[in-house]
A and B are shown apart, each in its own frame.
Chain A
Amino acid sequence: MSAILRATSLAKRFGGLAAVDDVSFAVERGEIFAIIGPNGAGKTTLLNLVSGLLLPTAGKVELDGRDLTGLSTAERCHLGLGRAFQVVQPFPEMTVRENVLVGAMFGKPGVGRGEAERRADDAIALVGLEGRAGDDAEDLTLMEEKRLEIARALATQPAVLLLDEVMAGLRPAEARDAVALVRRLRDEGLTIVFIEHVMPVVRDLADRVLVMDYGKVLTEGRYAEVTQDQRVIEAYLGRDDEGATA
């Protein structure tokens, strides 16, 4: 089985700082793949390189065997890359449904109006926001905003969904709901790549874990393996709060 998402020797330098340094990984179809690491390890930068918001200094990203180099964010979306942001950024002047409609109408070229509305309503139902569909996006609670963030990405009909810390700031019960949601998405055939700080969530969800530190790959493997790795423990013990959650 070939990888659906593959990064090869990705690097991003900001001036003298190597935010991402020679990172390679491959995600199999239908896998839930976690990226963890201390703050500032370069996780979000890595996702930005994958979704095309940043251009890499070196290396390439392939989706389903297709080289994404030189493609815009929109073109990557059309090819099947969905993205939910860490800092939720709904379009405040639109309702929840209109927010999701943007993804449904433009996520894939040539989607008709009725089809887009169906896709939007499906995505809203999947994340459980039906009751808020007509409300303005800026009136949502944090949990609802995160659901909206996921619904918008889902409405683009992605093959691979990139989730950036969607559990951050959620209460334990809400996090459990979110974990169930991610599982359901995988069961529907999506491949999921997610950044996460909450270790129990990583343990419950991830098939494989990529650990980053200072822009480099520290190690990669199953949750039980990487958490036993001495280098990972050291990287995390450097930060008190992160060590506690691990």
Chain B
Amino acid sequence: MNRAAAPARAARRRAVPWDVVGLGLLVVAAAFMPDLLRALYDRAAVSYLSIAINALSLAILALSWDVLARTGQLSLAHAAFYGTGAYTTALMLRHLDLPMWLGIPAGGLMAVAFALLLGGLTLRLRAIYFAIATLAFAEVLKAVVHHAPTAFAGGNAGMNVAPLFRPVFVAGQMERWEVAYLRNEAYFYVYAGLLALSVLISIALQRSRLRHAFTAIRTNEDVAGVMGVRPARVKLLAFMLSASTVGMLGAVEAHRVGSVLPDQSFSVATTVLALVTPIFGGLYTTLGPIVGALGLSSVQELLRRTFSDGYLIGYGVVLVLTILFMPRGVVGTIGHAWRKRGSRSTGTPPASRPQRAGPAPDDAPPKPPSQPGGDA
């Protein structure tokens, strides 16, 4: 009976494509979100949309970081890719007479080009050495932007970046706040689209054979190589995919914020958020970084509203406690508890049931408990 168990379980796992369903739900939810907020909160919807945009931005950043982390590489270069995207679109606006929207894909491509360069040089380094090299790269890039001729890249003062959307106030037909609402609504859809693209990349990777290559390289690069996986190539691909969405994010944010500045666009804070969020939410999954971003954004917002001063201390405490007591992250911990409950209720002997002690499950969403009798 045990021999039949594995294929049966695999078939059931394939039965509901939770990842695709989740992406569909995300898209539908995003489509209705601005109108819903407006119906519920009227003019307060403007600030709620801003909060939602920040959460989406964090989710894109976190998911991008996680894609590379699945190969076991810890990037401290995400601020560099973010800043590259931001400066690419700003420089194009300033020096080239091209449609503004081109700056977004161009920002992504430029980040990919830097990832190719940096990855080609450093991905043979492992873990901590790679991390140090990427951090150094980010700092060097920031310094280069700082010291580039002011006429070219703005130097210390940075550059202004035109907004993507300029809703016009029409007297008599709308209220003042509606201009801000329309602007935020438009940006919200851009961010949601970029997150959908990030999720699509992540799902495609998780469903492809590359997922196994990623896990193999992460757990034992030497053995992976002996089994025919080409670690250098696979890691470079992950790095480039990771950089692409962050580069686009940096470009979009430059337009939304209205300016680029060396210290702001290449801020170490971006790098820190990129790695803290998936660790908080649950590593090596599609869902984890998204849950992490929504969770951390909510915690931060609640704290900010409760204690306007020093709320960051509380935020730090929440982070430290989570990482101490939930090392698998939110999604990993819930998924683990769920599986344990499932195995108790079906009463299957532990020998035939997966019990993971690793940091997180590898599938996108936590798997539902097996049906009773399914293993018989």
Contact = CB atoms under 8 A, between A and B. Distances in A.
Size bracket, chain B contacts: 20 to 34
A133 B216 contact: no
A85 interface: yes
Given A91-B216, A102-B213, A74 B356 contact: no
> Which of B5, B10, B219, B226 has the most C-beta atoms of chain A within 10 angstroms of its own C-beta?
B226
Contact of A74 (B5, B209, B228, B355): B228
Contacts of A94: 212, 215-216, 219, 362
A92 interface: yes
Contacts of A116: 209
A42 interface: no
A134 B228 contact: no
Contacts of B351: 135, 139
A107 interface: yes
A225 interface: no
Looking at chain B's contact residues, the main secondary structure is helix
Contacts of B224: 102, 106
Nearest to A79: B228
Contacts of A74: 225-226, 228-231
Contacts of B212: 94, 98, 101-102, 105-106
Given A91-B220, A94-B212, A138-B357, A102 B226 contact: no
A73 B225 CA distance: 5
A132 B351 CA distance: 9
B227 A156 contact: yes
A94 B229 CA distance: 16
A113 interface: yes
B354 A73 contact: no
Contacts of B6: 95, 97, 133-134
Contacts of A78: 228
B352 interface: yes
A77 B227 contact: yes
- Most B CB within 10 A of own CB, among A78, A102, A133, A152: A102
B354 A93 contact: no
Contacts of A83: 226
A74 B212 CA distance: 15
Interface in A95-141: 95, 97-98, 101-103, 105-108, 113, 116, 130-136, 138-139
Given A113-B209, A134-B5, A139-B351, A93 B362 contact: yes
The 4 A-B residue pairs with the shortest CB-CB distance, nearest first, are A134-B6, A73-B225, A106-B228, A77-B228
14 contacts: A53-B222, A53-B226, A72-B230, A73-B222, A91-B219, A91-B223, A94-B215, A98-B215, A106-B209, A116-B209, A130-B3, A136-B355, A136-B356, A153-B227
Interface of B: 2-3, 5-6, 9-10, 209, 212-213, 215-216, 219-220, 222-231, 351-358, 362
Given A135-B351, A139-B355, 10 more contacts: A52-B225, A72-B225, A73-B222, A83-B226, A106-B230, A108-B228, A132-B2, A134-B6, A135-B354, A156-B227
